[in-house]
Structure 1
Amino acid sequence: MGGPVAEDTVGASVQVDREVPGLIVKFGAYPLHHGGVGAIRSLGRLGVPMYAITEDPYTPAAASRYLRRAFVWPTTGAEDPGQLVEGLLRIGRRIGRPAVLIPTDEEAAVLIAEHREELAGPFLCPSVDPGLPRRVASKQGLHELCEEHGHGLASPAAAFPRSYEEVVAFADTASFPVVAKNREAFLRRSRPAVGGTTRIATRAGLLALARAWGPDPGVILQEYLPREQAEDWIVHACFDRDANPLALFTGVKVRSWPPHAGMTAHAYVVDNPELADLAARFVKRIGFSGVADLDLRFDRRDGRYKLLDFNPRMGAQFRLFESAAGVDVVRALHLDLTGRPVPEGEQRAGRRYVVENIDLPALLAYRRGGYTTPHAPARASGTELAWFAGDDPLPFLTMLARFVRPGARHLCQLWRDRRRGTPK
């Protein structure tokens, strides 16, 4: 495919094909998604025509100057897969030329992998084993993959109860606190057992929750890794069809919201060759291709990295990472799927990423808890804001308009619930 060379934001030449658009694919109602805005800007600044699926016409993504068109399509993520595939094909016909699919959630990533042959005409997507994204997005599937292929990359000790009685048996021998998560990614919106990562302090608290989980709890019960003895690391990467890394980055999560268990609010790029090697070898063994976002916790008690999440899609904070050649994981994906070489280059260490609307409450919460993050540099070499950009201000203003009143109420309620010990 032909196309001119475009200059990226740090001055290096990145040979993108401007004849191949990108489509941001999201299922479910989460209009304030800074990752989608970041992907639109990242490729849009290189001249790639960008399209996006949005809940309504007034999302921050729809307001970006780099978006050619928003396809308004409200979904829950729990629709029949055939219905979602047909909707994507309709959008493909309206775009009128092959486009690179860029999923922003597990539902989209799994659907695209499992229906790649049906989508292959109007869309470009990685040649991944159709069942692998679903497996890595599953907490149980990821745990099993770590046990089979980890070889240095561990998974926290876990149990997968299939009845209330098995929860009771677990509670009788477990060391508390423990963590509960939904076992499968798709349960998050259709019939979630818990609202997210939920720390449970006592046996009585676990059994009280379990009574509402039904005959099949649908949860993973996992050992709690105390933050005083741990470090939160992230890996973002893009892999080719042979599971070789085209771009691979490491960093530390400084703050998240809700505290210690939610999305990244503040992070730094930090070189970690050991972790990069562990992640690359694990992905090679399982044969994954495409973009991945990994969350890990380094447990200082045993000196091991423990893989908490493997998201088979771009992470919301992916713009934290960029190489000296101007490549991030979304650019690497577009280059690879359009047959272009991905320029090599070291990651730009010391860069900082801040999500403006959630970092302030996260900062207050972390200061109250007295927690500091090891390895975070004293001074950033540069800061990437999730929402504000001088060349594209409308997404930031749209975020403010949608966030300030309902968002502030939601953040306050989350914080009050957390202080009272209410499960999320």
Structure 2
Amino acid sequence: MPSHPAVVLDLSANGVGIIHALARRGIEVYAFDTSGPYSKGKSRLASCAVCPSPLTQQKALLSFLKGVARKFEKKPVLYAGADDYVVFISTYREELSEYYLFLYPDHSMIVDLLDKKKTYDLAMKYCIPTAKTFFVENDDQLDEAISELEFPCILKPVYGHEFRKHINKKAIKIQDANQLREVFPLYSKYGELIIQELIPGDNQSFYKVATFFDDDMNLLALFTLQKNHQFPVEFGTGAHIVSKRIPELVELGVPLLKELKLKGVNMIEYKKDPRDGQYKLIEINPRFWLTHSLTGPSGVDFAYTYYLYLTGKNPAPQLEQIDGVQWIYLVRYFLTFLEKRRNDEMTWRDFLKGFKGKKVFALLALDDPMPFIRSTSSHLWNAWKRKRKE
């Protein structure tokens, strides 16, 4: 009898990590993303194709996914690697659940977690330390925020996944009040913004706690990690990560996620503030995160455990991890090194040291070379274009 296939929405490094975790266990994988950079360099470990946009073609995407599912004898397990797809699946969960297997928290919670204002409200409600934050809707509120701010500070979108469709930045560093007054109206036309204090500390101050709770809020998988490097250096995503159990973060994060009833796969990111030693909330993501492909080599395979649970295999909880395994997004690690080397923050010896010990690469794979080639060429091309503008 055929097993359940898997359908992955996302062909970035996040989605490719899911493909690799499942296909290498013999699971039939189908992967889709919108047309654009991911239409090139498709994974050879999955059947890949272009799909309608979850932002602008929701009804077409719904029809498309129904058509895909009808081809199989058993319901596919549905995975999402990006916020746009998570919101889409959650919005149409009733219809999609007739065709697919997936597990998400309540839709209202997903919407709240993607809204920086609502996430801040949750932090206040549960007394979670966070950066000092200002919500600005007019000039008077901007002046008030400036009077209380310490510079430099950061400007962030309330809805990051929508903002990055226009401006590909997680945050903008602001040096002084004059710059803030100048750029605030320029960026605000792309979406609502918040102003936040800049928590000091380098890339290694960032930590994540990830959980997988089942329908009854039983913990089936647990993982913690520490960043070593990110790209871009100041406000970026993982470039070099290490598996590391941080008991105090487990004590902070797991009860919170359980209290919020965040069933399915979720991740909290914290930054440790050197001024007071507190772990301060950065964000909560109700989905698979970029560096989840580190979990399998570290003994806690989130993607496969999710598959086993949803297909009725009753997987045993995976709550112990192997520490010291490194996850390397090679081209981003190299570009980060170049930037840090220019600032005398990293040497060639430091860079090469990052390859010692047990490691897993985000995309580099002999059995699936094209995603790595695609991503590397794209990153290097964009870096060259930026350098030319300088």
In structure 1, how many angstroms separate the alpha carbons of the residues matched to 2:40 and 2:315? 26
Which 5+ residue runs of structure 2 have no aligned equivalent?
347-352
- The residue number in structure 2 matching 1:73 is 51
SS class of match (2:145): helix
Q: 1:171 to 1:50 in 2, by over 3 A?
A: same
- Partners in 2 of 1:86 and 1:161 — Cα distance? 40
1:207 to 173, 181, 185: 181
Match of residue 330, structure 1, among 291, 303, 314: 303
Aligned partners of 1:149 and 1:285 also within 8 Å: no
Q: Where do residues 16-165 of structure 1 align in structure 2 (5 Å cutoff)?
A: 19-26=3-10, 33-56=12-35, 59=38, 63-67=42-46, 69-73=47-51, 75=53, 77-79=54-56, 81-95=58-72, 97-150=74-127, 153-165=128-140
TM-aligned CA distance change 1:126 to 1:42, over 3 Å: same
CA distance in 2, matches of 1:173, 1:323: 46
TM-score normalised over the length of structure 2? 0.88
Corresponding residue for 1:286? Answer: 260
1:411–1:191 Cα change, 3 Å = closer
Q: CA deviation at 1:295?
A: 2.1
1:73 counterpart letter in structure 2: C
Q: Quick one: distance in 1 between partners of 2:370 and 2:297?
A: 27
Give yes or no for the alignment of 1:275 onto 2:211: no
1:177 partner letter? P
Q: Is the 8 A contact 1:128 1:289 kept in 2?
A: yes
Residue 350 of structure 2 is matched in structure 1 by none
**CA displacement, residues 271-325 of structure 1 (integer Å, 9 cap, x when unaligned):** 211112211111011111111233210112112111212121111211112376x
Cα distance in 2 between the residues matched to 1:202 and 1:230: 26
Quote how far apart the aligned CAs of 1:364 are.
2.1
Q: Secondary structure at the match of 2:15?
A: helix
Amino acid at match of 1:114: T
Q: Distance between the aligned counterparts of 1:354 and 1:378, measured in 2?
A: 9
**Do residues 410 (structure 1) and 376 (structure 2) align?**
no
2:146 corresponds to 1:171 = yes
Cα displacement (A) at 1:85: 2.7
Q: Distance in 2 between matches of 1:57 and 1:190?
A: 13
Which whole-Å CA distance do the structure 2 matches of 1:52 and 1:304 have between them? Answer: 40
CA distance in 2, matches of 1:230, 1:354: 15
Paired AA for residue 280 in structure 1: V
Q: Which residue matches 2:162?
A: 187
Residues in 1 aligned to 2:8 and 2:138: alpha-carbon distance in whole angstroms? 39
Question: 1:350 deviation in Å?
Answer: 0.5
Structure 2 counterpart of 1:278, one-letter code: L
Q: 1:380 to 1:63 in 2, by over 3 A?
A: same
Letter of the structure 2 residue corresponding to residue 184 of structure 1: Y
Cα separation, 2, equivalents of 1:388 and 1:213: 35
Q: Is the 8 A contact 1:23 1:52 kept in 2?
A: yes
Question: 2:358 matched to which residue of 1?
Answer: 382
Q: Which residue of 2 aligns with 1:313?
A: 287
> For the residues of structure 1 that align with 2:119 and 2:33, how far apart are their CA atoms?
30
Judge which range, 339-348 or 34-43, deviates more.
339-348
2:228 alignment partner, SS class: strand
Q: Which residue of 2 aligns with 1:341?
A: 314
Quick one: distance in 2 between partners of 1:296 and 1:322? 22
Change (3 A) 1:190 1:368: closer
Alignment of 1:234-313 (within 5 A): 234-313=208-287
Give the aligned residue type for 2:382: H
Instruction: Please identify runs of 4+ aligned residues in structure 1 that moved more than 6 A.
Output: none
The structural deviation recorded for 1:125 is 1.2
Query: 2:215 & 2:379 partners in 1: Cα distance?
Result: 40
Whether the aligned pair in 2 keeps the contact of 1:60 and 1:396 (CA below 8 Å) is no
- With the length of structure 1 as denominator, give the TM-score of the two structures: 0.81
> Alpha-carbon deviation of 1:244?
3.5
* SS of residue matched to 2:163: helix
Look up the equivalent residue of 1:407 and give its one-letter code.
Answer: H
Q: Is the 8 A contact 1:52 1:62 kept in 2?
A: no
SS of the residue 1:227 aligns to = coil
- Counterpart secondary structure, 1:317: helix
User: What SS does the aligned partner of 2:78 have?
Assistant: strand
> What CA distance in whole angstroms lies between the structure 2 residues aligned with 1:50 and 1:19?
11
Identify unmatched segments of 5+ residues in structure 1: 4-17
After superposition, give the CA deviation of every residue in 1:314-354 in whole Å (9 maximum; x if it has no partner): 11211112376x44211121122112222344211100011
Distance in 1 (alpha carbons) for counterparts of 2:36 and 2:235? 31
* Larger deviation, residues 363-372 vs 278-287: 363-372
Contact 2:164 2:170 in 1 (8 A): no
Rounded Cα–Cα distance in structure 1 between residues aligned with 2:63 and 2:247:
43
Q: Distance in 1 between matches of 2:361 and 2:39?
A: 14
Deviations 1:202-232 (A, max 9, x none): 1111110122255896011111011259711
Offset of residue 80 of structure 1: 5.2
